[in-house]
Amino acid sequence: MSKNKKALKIAIVGGGAGGVFAAIQCAEKAQQNNVKVHIVIYEASSKLLKKVRISGGGRCNVTHHQFDPKLLVQNYPRGYKELLASFHKFQPQDMVKWFEQRGVRIKHEEDGRMFPVTDSSETIINCFLQQCKKLGVLIETQKPVKKINQNLQLTFADGSEEVFDKVLIATGSSKTAYDLAKQLGHSITELAPSLFTFKIKSDLLKDLAGISFSNTSLSLKTDEKNSFKQTGPLLITHWGLSGPALLKISAWAARAMKKSNYKAKLYVNWLNYKDLSHVKELLQNQKQTHPKAQIGNTPVEGLPKRFWQKLVLYSNIEPTTVWNEISKKSFNKLTQNLFMTEFNVEGISRFKEEFVECGGVNLKEINFKSMQSKLVPGLYFSGEILDIDGVTGGFNFQNAWTGSWIAAQDMVSV
């Protein structure tokens, strides 16, 4: 133990992914440096690690299999400049190693997402809770923090108060979290939902919920000045469109979509064709190969038959029409719709507990070498409370792990 009798008092506000990992890191660092510490996690609800539990459909998408920091930061619509140096210190590879050293093996899937080999979020939760117990981290649930002052005195909902040497706010995105930051003089950037699905009413999509496309190209136009592009898998839903490509484009367009009141034009290239002439050539080949076959029965390669038949109807062509009898006008319309179907976006859908918020504590007010506030000594931030958010695929967890790791190194530095 340290020669100093008085323990370093550390409060972690928020028992989510970043908060719990930070507490463990503080305890491990203190042990390595022979520093006496008293670490408490304060969680407002009755359970820790709620987002970890539901992430990836209960499998927990812990991080992403992208180990090059320069490429990794390209998955963050906001915060990528600040994260570059951070990821050189602690990145997905380090997180995977950390888990494996504690008996949790991690695998990666084709799309780069990484999960515990057990495919269960409970594996991750149990690992964290075991480490907390082993290292003597105290956990206080149903203990909301109502106020933090410049002297790092925490006031709780029950009226009790306690002063700490170091405080990390890792509460995620919520009004309460932003209020705590504002009490301490921090500014909050413009807030907007991120990672949402689109509500679209279209005859083309009707009754096709569940049909997916592995490689589409999307273009979103919110106004004359703003347009966004994305490629990847797409899914037809009961209310419109979803899937990784759409969630990614929603993240990049988060503030522009809010400004447009979630009305926009979406253009879908269903099989990510390089240009219109390529699609025309493809359909000409179908016509020459199957001159007497019904158009509805001869979908182009890669398209589900049910969708193809709907697309044919959507192009004002009867599916029973044979290829030899298609008019030039109808042929051109089908070509255009296959290459680029235009939709009117009429709103968004969110599953709040799974998705993230764009906006948060202004990054100019944070020292990213330590994650310490530039305004209040001894105060730190990590995770979604900051104006940093990633696309879907484990990137938001990685931001939390990295920020918490950096903060912990500084909080227990001697």
* Tokens describing residue 20: 């719990």
Question: Looking at residues 179-207, what average pLDDT do you find?
Answer: 95
Q: Nearest-5° angle of CA 367, CA 370, CA 372?
A: 60
- Taking each continuous run of H as one helix and of E as one strand, the counts in the chain are 13, 22
Q: Find how far residue 298's CA is from the centre of its chain.
A: 39
Entry pTM: 0.90
pLDDT at 335 over 60: yes
Amino acid 1: pLDDT: 39
Percent above pLDDT 70 for the chain: 97
Per-residue pLDDT at 356: 79
Cα–Cα dist 376/373, whole Å = 5
Q: Taking residues 121-140, what's their average pLDDT?
A: 97
C-alpha R_g of the chain: 25
Tokens standing for 31? 């042990």
- Please determine, for residue 128, whether its predicted confidence score (pLDDT) is greater than 50: yes
Q: Does residue 172 carry a pLDDT above 70?
A: yes
DSSP 116: E
Share of the chain above pLDDT 90, in %: 91
Residue 173 banded pLDDT, cuts 50, 70, 90: confident
Q: Range with the lowest mean pLDDT among 6-10, 116-120, 170-174, 366-370?
A: 170-174
CATH 3.50.50.60 positions along the chain are 8-191+355-411
pLDDT of residue 357: 84
| CATH superfamily assigned to domain 8-191+355-411 | FAD/NAD(P)-binding domain (3.50.50.60)
How many angstroms separate the CA atoms of 360 and 187, rounded?
8
CA 216 – CA 245 distance, rounded (Å): 8
Model confidence band, residue 270 (pLDDT cutoffs 50, 70, 90) = very high
Show contacts of 56-60: CB within 8 Å, 24+ apart.
56/113, 56/115, 56/121, 58/120, 58/121, 59/115, 59/116, 59/119, 59/120, 59/121, 60/115, 60/116, 60/120, 60/121, 60/123, 60/124
DSSP letter string, 158-174: TS-EEE-SEEEE---S-
- pLDDT at residue number 4: 47
pLDDT digits (tens, 9 = 90+) for 271-323: 999 999 999 999 999 999 999 999 999 999 999 999 999 999 999 999 999 99
Question: Cα-flanking dihedrals φ and ψ of residue 268, to 5°?
Answer: -115, 120
For the chain, the straight-line distance linking the first and the last C-alpha, in angstroms and rounded, comes to 13
Mean pLDDT, the chain, rounded, equals 94
Element holding 383 (H helix, E strand): none
The tokens describing 232, both together, are 């990847």
Judge contact between 339 and 276, C-beta under 8 A. yes
- Whether the predicted pLDDT of 3 surpasses 60: no
Report the pLDDT averaged over residues 40-57: 94
Residue 371: name the closest of 85, 30, 9, 38 by CA: 85
**Segment 210-215 mean pLDDT:** 95
Question: Phi and psi of 338, rounded to 5°?
Answer: -70, -40
Q: Which of 99, 152, 142 is nearest to 124 (CA)?
A: 99
